[in-house]
Structure 1
Amino acid sequence: MEPTEDQVYVIIFATIFLGGIMSTFVISMVFIHRQRQAQNRQKVDQIKSEHEMTLLNIENEIQQETLTHIGRELHDNIGQLLSLAKLNFGSIKPEKHAEGREILAQAIREVRGLSKQLNLDWVESISISEFIGQQLDRIEATGFCATTLQADFDLVDLPKESKLVLIRVIQESLNNAIKHALPDKILIRIEENGNRKQIRIKDDGKGFDSSQPSKGSGMTNLKMRMETIGGEFHLTSSVGIGTEITLTLPN
């Protein structure tokens, strides 16, 4: 039985209608896909911009920390060396002049060492173990507390951006221990946990209840900074026992 003329029209209309729906659906899906692509590009650009801004802030902070250190060294160390050299040169005894020349030579060596710190080239030339050792030596030199560094290996192949973040996070963690924990000892250990490399910073200071929400943004900032390089920041602390910070590096 052949379809009637009305049935033919219905079939044609239904075909056109379904074709229109399918076309609209396909166009809508393409439009949504392009919208999502644009949103993803915006998110990637935003993340990239935030990452670059974080690194820039860290560079500025490290430079400021370096300038502060250089200012202290010029005043407390080199200034005293020059004053001592002046006193020796003012003496009529020849042996004092020789001593003055040696002190002056030492001051010159100190100035040359400080000049190398005025830019961030030293970041690429120093390993994390060497940097930590320098920081701990400074703390011990003040007589504040005892320090220990235990390294199963050295972190020598880190990209500059990862090293910058680690340096600043380690600095801030040590500064927090000095300001708030008042420990007798600080221990830093570089080790491997499974296939992840970690830096553990532990003190035996006052500690605090780490289960309570933090009142400041310091720990949150350190956590975010580690995340910018694909790492992790974890803190545990107990009142009267001390604090341990674990920095897990990206694979």
Structure 2
Amino acid sequence: MLSDISEITLVILAGTFIMFLLVSTIVFFVLSYQKRYLKHQHEIKEMEQAFNQELLKSELEIKDQTMNNIAAEIHDHIGQLLSVIKLNLALNPDPELKETKDLVAQVIKDVRSLAHSMHSDAIGGKSIAELISNEVDRLKKSTPLLFHYQQQGESHTFDPQTEIFLFRIFQECVNNVLKHADAKNVFVELIYGLSLLTISINDDGKGFETETLKEGLGLRSINYRAKLIGAKLDVTSSTGSGTKVRLEIQTDKKILNAN
């Protein structure tokens, strides 16, 4: 009788041990599979992000190269034609043509200014404060928008590539206002702190709902450029309340990928 009880106990213990091994094996395989699955999903996500970044980088490079080509064409071809027109007018002594001569001279000046603001080589070597100030002056003359510009604090200098990226972000923001905002006023402010530069571009346009907006190339390029230079970007807007863009960057930041 006692022997039978011992055998039953042994069978129960053996069965319990086998069940424990079985459950442990199943749990081990489930956890291993889940780990491999999560790792695989993470790798896929990283590949998608890398692909999207490369795609956006190519788009930006094509866009910048196109801007450089247009700037060169404006400066070399249209600028030369306008110079010829100005020269021909100068040969005519008719005093009634004075206003026309002045207009042509102003157009030549504006065209050259536009070409310089578009070409990367032309804007290199200038501080972001100087670039934005010059661009605001140009936009005041060439667009119906009323620009209000102010700068606070003593300006700091960034590396040339960072300066260009900051300027391209500013240009893209203003371009979005011109294309979509239906605004009357644009308020641009540069605030230099001890170690932080804050750039604000606000408008009084129709605004949009940021939660439902599909991010186009404009916003993607702004976010991508900001990320490359380690800047913090904040875009807030709502229907009927205009749009506020706030860009913050440490003055000791260096560009993460100069390529």
Q: How many Å apart are 1:115 and its aligned residue?
A: 9.4
Q: Name the SS for the 1:208 alignment partner.
A: coil
Residue segments in structure 2 that go unaligned for 5+ positions in a row: 92-107, 251-259
RMSD across aligned positions (CA): 4.4
Map residues 205-224 of structure 1 onto 2, 5 A cutoff: 207-208=205-206, 210=208, 217=214, 221-224=217-220
8 Å CA contact retained: 2:188, 2:201: yes
8 Å CA contact retained: 1:149, 1:188: yes
Q: How many Å apart are 1:42 and its aligned residue?
A: 1.7
Could you tell me which amino acid in structure 1 is paired with residue 151 of structure 2? A
Aligned to 2:202: 202
**1:171, 1:220 → 2: CA distance?**
16
Q: Name the SS for the 1:249 alignment partner.
A: strand
Q: How many Å apart are 1:7 and its aligned residue?
A: 2.0
Q: How many Å apart are 1:36 and its aligned residue?
A: 0.6
**2:133, 2:67 → 1: CA distance?**
17
Aligned to 1:38: 40
| Paired residues, number | 224
Map residues 57-136 of structure 1 onto 2, 5 A cutoff: 57-85=59-87, 120=120, 125-136=125-136
**1:202, 1:58 → 2: CA distance?**
24
Residue segments in structure 1 that go unaligned for 5+ positions in a row: 90-105
| Residue among 16, 26, 43 paired with 1:24 | 26
Residue 181 (structure 1) aligned with residue 182 (structure 2): yes
Aligned to 1:94: none
Q: Name the SS for the 1:131 alignment partner.
A: helix
Aligned to 2:254: none
8 Å CA contact retained: 1:55, 1:161: no
Write the deviation string for residues 113-170 of structure 1: whole angstroms up to 9, x where unpaired.
Answer: x69976x456764433233223223213437455343233546437948953x44442
CA pair 12-123 structure 1, distance change in 2 beyond 3 A: farther
**2:237, 2:164 → 1: CA distance?**
23
Could you tell me which amino acid in structure 2 is paired with residue 246 of structure 1? V
**2:59, 2:30 → 1: CA distance?**
43
**1:64, 1:210 → 2: CA distance?**
29
Could you tell me which amino acid in structure 2 is paired with residue 245 of structure 1? K
Q: How many Å apart are 1:190 and its aligned residue?
A: 1.9
Q: How many Å apart are 1:78 and its aligned residue?
A: 3.0
Q: How many Å apart are 1:15 and its aligned residue?
A: 0.6
Q: Percent identity?
A: 15
Alignment TM-score, normalising by the size of structure 2: 0.63
CA pair 182-124 structure 1, distance change in 2 beyond 3 A: same
CA pair 248-28 structure 1, distance change in 2 beyond 3 A: same
| Residue among 54, 57, 72 paired with 2:56 | 54
**1:225, 1:77 → 2: CA distance?**
30
Q: After superposing the two structures, state which structure 1 stretch, 27-36 or 133-142, moved more.
A: 133-142
Name segments (4+ residues, structure 1) moved above 6 Å. Answer: 86-89, 114-117
